Amino acid sequence: MRGGRLHDGKLPGEKLQGGAGMRLGLQTRAVHAGEPNRHGVGGPVATNVCHSSTFTFSSVAEMKKWAEGKSKAYIYTRYGNPTLAVAEKKIAALEGAEAAVVTASGMAAISSALLGALKTGDEVISTADLYGGSYRLMRDVFPDMGIKVHLVGTDLAGMEELVSAKTKVIYVETPTNPTLRLVDLRRVIAFAKKHKLVSMIDNTFATPLQQQPIAMGFDMVVHSATKYLGGHSDIIAGAAAGSAAWMKRVQQMVIYLGGSMDPGAAYLLIRGMKTIGLRMERQSANTLAVARYLEKHPKVARVYYPGLRSHPDHVLAKRQMSGFGAMMAFDLKGGLAAARRFCERVRIFLLAASLGGVESLVILPIYSSHYDMSMKELARVGVSPGTVRMSVGIEDVGDLIGDLEWALG
Ligand SMILES: Cc1ncc(COP(=O)(O)O)c(C=O)c1O
CA 206/CA 28 separation, integer angstroms: 18
pLDDT at position 255 over 80: yes
| CB 153 less than 6 A from any atom of ligand 1 | no
The residue whose CA is least distant from atom 9 of ligand 1 is 106
Co-location of 65 and 139 in the same domain = yes
Q: Is the CB of 101 under 6 A from ligand 1?
A: no
At 305 the pLDDT is 98
- In short, whether 307's Cβ falls inside 6 Å of ligand 1 is no
Range of the domain at 384: 276-408
Tell me: the pLDDT tens digits for 138-163?
999 999 999 999 999 999 999 999 99
Q: Are residues 239 and 345 in the same domain?
A: no
| Residue of minimum CA distance from atom 16 in ligand 1 | 131
What pLDDT score does 22 carry?
57
Give residues with Cβ within 8 angstroms of 342, minimum separation 6: 332, 362, 388, 407, 408
Same domain, 266 and 387: no
For position 188, what pLDDT does the model report?
98
* The one catalytic residue among 10, 78, 148, 292: 78
Q: Is the pLDDT of residue 259 over 60?
A: yes
Residue 2's pLDDT is 35
Residue 133 lies in a domain: yes
- Looking at residue 37, what is its pLDDT? 82
Q: Which residues pair with 172 in a beta bridge?
A: 201
CA of 202 to the centre of ligand 1 (A): 9
In a domain, 6, yes or no: no
Does 371 participate in catalysis according to the annotation?
Answer: no
Task: Return the pLDDT at 371.
Answer: 84
Residue 368 banded pLDDT, cuts 50, 70, 90: confident
| Amino acid identity at 408 | L
**Which amino acid is present at 202?**
D
Please name every residue paired with 123 in a beta bridge, in sequence order, or none if there are none. 148, 167
Looking at every residue in the chain, the average pLDDT score rounds to: 94
Q: What is the mean pLDDT of residues 272-296?
A: 98
Query: In a mutational test of the pocket of ligand 1, which residue from 103, 105, 107, 135 has the highest number of ligand atoms less than 8 Å from its CB?
Result: 107
Is position 27 within any domain?
Answer: no
When pLDDT is cut at 50, 70 and 90, the band that residue 214 belongs to is very high
Task: Give the pLDDT band of residue 303 (cuts 50, 70, 90).
Answer: very high
By percentage, how much of the chain surpasses pLDDT 70? 95
Choose one of 131, 138, 174, 268 to mutate for the ligand 1 pocket test, by most ligand atoms within 8 angstroms of C-beta: 131
In a domain, 152, yes or no: yes
Please give the order of strands across the beta sheet that includes 327-332: 300-304, 327-332, 388-391, 361-363, 350-351
**Non-local CB neighbours of 405 within 8 Å, separated by 6+ positions:** none
Residue 131 beta carbon below 6 angstroms from any ligand 1 atom: yes
Backbone angles phi, psi at 127, to 5 degrees: -70, 145
**What is the torsion angle, in degrees rounded to the nearest 10, for the CA atoms of residue 17, residue 19, residue 23 and residue 24?**
-80
DSSP string spanning 272-320? Answer: HHTTHHHHHHHHHHHHHHHHHHHHH-TTEEEEE-TTSTTSTTHHHHHHH
Q: From residue 362, how far is each of 129, 246, 342, 359 by CA, in Å?
A: 20, 36, 9, 10
76 and 211 part of one domain = yes
Q: What is the mean pLDDT of residues 205-231?
A: 98
Q: Are 245 and 233 in contact (CB under 8 A)?
A: no
- pLDDT for the residue 167: 98
User: Within this chain, do residues 167 and 218 fall inside the same structural domain, yes or no?
Assistant: yes
Does the beta carbon of 106 lie inside 6 Å of ligand 1?
A: yes
Q: By percentage, how much of the chain surpasses pLDDT 90?
A: 88
Task: Write down the pLDDT at residue 62.
Answer: 97
Indicate if 351 and 385 belong to the same structural domain: yes
C-alpha 406/C-alpha 69 separation (Å) is 62
Which CATH number goes with the domain that contains 251? 3.40.640.10
Residue 224 pLDDT level (bands cut at 50, 70, 90): very high
Q: Tell me the per-residue pLDDT of 4-57, one tens digit each, with 9 for 90 and over.
A: 344 444 544 433 433 444 579 999 999 999 998 888 888 899 999 999 999 999
pLDDT in tens, 66-77: 999 999 999 999
**269 and 176 both lie in a single domain:** yes
Best mean pLDDT range from 5-19, 56-70, 379-393: 56-70
Intra-chain end-to-end CA distance of the chain, in Å: 47
Mean pLDDT of 320-348: 97
Choose the catalytic residue: 129, 184, 202, 403: 202
- Given 273, 292, 323, the domain boundary residue is 273
Q: Are residues 151 and 86 in the same domain?
A: yes
pLDDT in tens, 79-112: 999 999 999 999 999 999 999 999 999 999 999 9
Domain boundary among 273, 304, 320: 273
CA dihedral (302, 306, 310, 313) positive or negative = positive
Q: Are residues 248 and 280 in the same domain?
A: no
Residues 265 and 177 reside in one and the same domain: yes
Alpha-carbon distances of 314 from 11, 180, 184, 204, 309, rounded to whole Å: 33, 10, 12, 19, 6
92 shares its domain with 166: yes
Q: How many domains does the chain have?
A: 2
Is ligand 1 within 6 A of the CB of residue 238?
yes
Does residue 121 sit in the same domain as residue 147?
yes
- 199: pLDDT strictly greater than 80: yes
CB-facing half-sphere around the CA of 317: CA atoms within 13 A: 22
Q: Determine if ligand 1 sits within 6 Å of the CB of residue 276.
A: no
Distance (Å) of CA 353 to CA 131, 191, 368, 370, 390: 12, 34, 6, 11, 10
Asked which of 254, 273, 292 is the last residue of a domain, the reply is 273
Tell me what pLDDT residue 372 has. Answer: 87
Q: Name the residue of 204, 205, 228, 361 to mutate for ligand 1: max ligand atoms within 8 A of Cβ.
A: 204
Active site residue 202: yes
